Amino acid sequence: MVEARPVVRELPAYKPGRNPADLAREIGVDRAVKLASNEVAFPPLPAVVQAIAAAVAETNRYPDNGAVVLTAALAERYGVDPGQVATGCGAVTLCQELAQAYNDPGSSIAFAWRSFEMYPLLASVAGARAVRVPLVPGRPGGVPDTHDLDGLLAAIDETTRLAFVCNPNNPTGTAVRRAELERFLDAVPAQTLVVLDEAYREFVTDPDVPDGLELMRGRPNVAVLRTFSKAWGLAGLRVGYLIAEDPAVAEAVRKTHVPFSVSMLAQAAAVAALGSEDEVRARCAAVTAERERLTAALRDRGFDVADSQANFVWLPLGDDAAGLAAALEARAVITRPFAGEGVRVTVGSPEENDVLLAALDQVRDDARVP
């Protein structure tokens, strides 16, 4: 019998957000609201729709494996050389390519925990040791929800090839500030590549949360990951990018790139999205305004919600997390539970968030009924 490697057999399956149409059919309602996957509620940008329609006529051909037009557009936008840029099928694929490029068996990858759930899986696939550094409270008396950069630095040793800093952190939404991040970057050994995972950068409103690309300058062991899946509204097309201070980092990622994995449609859409930045900024402003309204409403209902810098909020419910998520699903609202820890709730449209709040009120009222 042919068997996969033991480490692969033991890997937990990635659990995507549930399909709302499936849930609606299951519970017999017209519509379910999905607030589980941190998508934006807006439809695709008009320029994106036009670009995809134009590109469809060429899909009998392979896409540009080097994504030259997209790479040039990103390099121009961020003021870097194209050699510092690598594109991929979503930021998570770039994470995998980084692990393949830098980790041998016996090496390690360090990251905060809880953070992006793919980090430990990528370490396992690469044959590397996953070093999880527990989160710490980001505010007096709060729950552990923020990177412990001192702890992360202490966990880095001669085996550590990669260190991920998810900022803002998924799933807690908290962010580390400039001074502590600069101290951390300056202290990390030169042989460890620090990857600032900024999938939610466009939703940051705190001026003291730094732009990772600014901190990258002059630090050859720092790279920044971003994605078009969130703020830019291209989750269904899968395109992310890495920008590295040292072009050799981007080159290493390109060498592990799966050929043609950024589709022709994805490349065209991303270029068109970059040309619609003013509209994207307006959409992000609407999301962050709604984030504040939702946060206030949740706090009014007794939830201990930290200030989020992403397009989601975190409910630190401990052992009650799975139960609340199940109760919400029974009322046609899909969230993302992390059993024993909390529930991540995407900031949806105002109407979607009102459905969530009404469902929470129903759960609370039903619990009061003897």
Q: What is the pLDDT of residue 230?
A: 98
Give the residue among 326, 364, 368, 355 at the shortest CA–CA distance from 18: 326
Q: Per-residue b/e over 113-127, b at no fewer than 16 CB within 10 Å? A: bbbbbbbbbbbbbbe
Shared domain check, 51 and 15:
no
Which of 274, 297, 315 finishes a domain?
A: 274
Q: Is residue 356 part of a domain?
A: yes
Q: Is residue 144 part of a domain?
A: yes
> For helices 264-274 and 68-78, what crossing angle results, to 10°?
30
Compute the half-sphere exposure of residue 294: CA atoms within 13 Å on the CB side of its CA. Answer: 32
Give the whole-angstrom CA distance, residue 44 versus residue 55: 15
Q: What is the pLDDT of residue 16?
A: 76
pLDDT greater than 90 at residue 98: yes
Compute the half-sphere exposure of residue 22: CA atoms within 13 Å on the CB side of its CA. Answer: 4
Which of 257, 274, 291 finishes a domain?
A: 274
Shared domain check, 298 and 238:
no
Shared domain check, 264 and 285:
no
pLDDT greater than 70 at residue 370: no
Task: Give yes or no for a cis peptide into 336 (omega within 30° of 0).
Answer: no
pLDDT 10s digits, 315-364: 999 999 999 999 999 999 999 999 999 999 999 999 999 999 999 999 99
Shared domain check, 74 and 207:
yes
75, two tokens: 């390099």
Beta strand 108-113 with 129-134: parallel, antiparallel or unpaired? parallel
DSSP line for 77-144? HHT--GGGEEEESSHHHHHHHHHHHH--TT-EEEEEESS-THHHHHHHHHTPEEEEEE-EESSTT--E
pLDDT 10s digits, 119-132: 999 999 999 999 99
DSSP line for 214-281? HHHTT-TTEEEEEESSSTTS-TTT--EEEEESSHHHHHHHHHTPPTT-S-HHHHHHHHHHHTTHHHHH
Shared domain check, 29 and 72:
no
Give the whole-angstrom CA distance, residue 103 versus residue 109: 8
Positions of E strands within 121-216: 129-134, 136-137, 144-146, 160-166, 193-197
Shared domain check, 114 and 40:
no
Q: Is residue 229 part of a domain?
A: yes
- Residue whose tokens read 């810098």: 309
Q: What is the CATH number of the domain that holds 154?
A: 3.40.640.10
CB atoms within 10 A of CB 231: 22
pLDDT greater than 70 at residue 369: no
Q: What is the pLDDT of residue 18?
A: 85
How far CA 210 is from CA of 126, 230, 291, in Å, comes to 30, 19, 20
Q: Is residue 1 part of a domain?
A: no
Categorize the per-residue pLDDT at 180 as very low, low, confident or very high, splitting at 50, 70 and 90.
very high
Q: Is residue 220 part of a domain?
A: yes
Q: How many domains does the chain have?
A: 2
Shared domain check, 361 and 290:
yes
257, two tokens: 């790139």
Shared domain check, 296 and 204:
no
Shared domain check, 263 and 135:
yes
Q: What is the CATH number of the domain that holds 30?
A: 3.90.1150.10
Shared domain check, 329 and 205:
no
Minimum mean pLDDT range among 44-48, 90-94, 264-268, 364-368: 364-368
CA angle 65, 80, 206 (to 5 degrees): 110
Shared domain check, 149 and 252:
yes
Q: Is residue 350 part of a domain?
A: yes
Structural domain boundaries enclosing 287 = 6-44+278-368
Which of 253, 274, 295 finishes a domain?
A: 274
pLDDT greater than 70 at residue 295: yes
pLDDT 10s digits, 227-248: 999 999 999 999 999 999 999 9
Q: Return mean pLDDT, the chain.
A: 96
pLDDT 10s digits, 107-120: 999 999 999 999 99
Q: Is the full-model pTM beyond 0.75? A: yes
Shared domain check, 188 and 125:
yes
Percent above pLDDT 90 for the chain: 93
- Residue whose tokens read 């703020």: 231
Q: Is residue 108 part of a domain?
A: yes
Q: Is residue 18 part of a domain?
A: yes
